[in-house]
């Protein structure tokens, strides 16, 4: 297990810091990921580590930014250490989708495929069971 896992998982309240998936419903611990990837000069420090579900970590890969379709501007992905989740995202409880409230939120949703069919269906169940952290 990653030596930073205890700190990072407790800080994230055992939920993915991008899509808010609850770790408790998975059969493996979530991953400690580098917000700024090591391949782009990111360091292994508390301020550059986030708890990520496998799906978000896989799709995030080494991205740090993407083009926002609305503004057509290169925009940084959501940074869990610098940004507040509720300022960039909201959960639409009726549909299970996560809505981007900012350019950063929108590019993160797109890049990490946060509203894929499988993610949305799972999120609807987690919401019904009261397992989602909404903020």
The predicted structure's pLDDT at residue 135: 61
The predicted structure's pLDDT at residue 1: 80
- The per-residue pLDDT for range 43-84, each reduced to its tens digit, is 999 999 999 999 999 999 999 999 999 999 999 999 999 999
Reported as a pLDDT band with limits 50, 70 and 90, residue 134 is low
Q: Where exactly are the structural domains of the chain?
A: 5-128
Tokens at 44, concatenated: 């292994």
H-state helical runs in the chain: 5-11, 54-60, 85-88, 103-112, 117-128
Cβ–Cβ < 8 Å for 102, 76: no
Backbone φ and ψ of 66, nearest 5°:
-160, 165
């Amino acid at each position: 297990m990653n030596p930073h896992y205890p700190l990072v998982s407790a800080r994230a309240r055992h939920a993915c810091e991008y899509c808010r998936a609850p770790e408790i419903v998975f059969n493996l611990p979530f991953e400690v990921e580098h917000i700024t990837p090591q391949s782009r000069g990111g360091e292994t420090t508390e301020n550059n580590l986030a708890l990520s579900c496998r799906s978000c970590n896989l799709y995030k890969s080494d991205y740090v930014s993407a083009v926002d379709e609305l503004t057509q501007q290169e925009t940084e992905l959501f940074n869990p250490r610098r940004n507040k989740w509720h300022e960039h995202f909201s959960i639409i409880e009726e549909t299970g989708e996560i809505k981007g409230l900012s350019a950063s939120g929108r590019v993160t949703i797109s890049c990490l495929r946060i509203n894929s069919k499988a993610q949305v269906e799972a999120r609807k169940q987690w919401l019904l069971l009261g397992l989602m952290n909404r903020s």
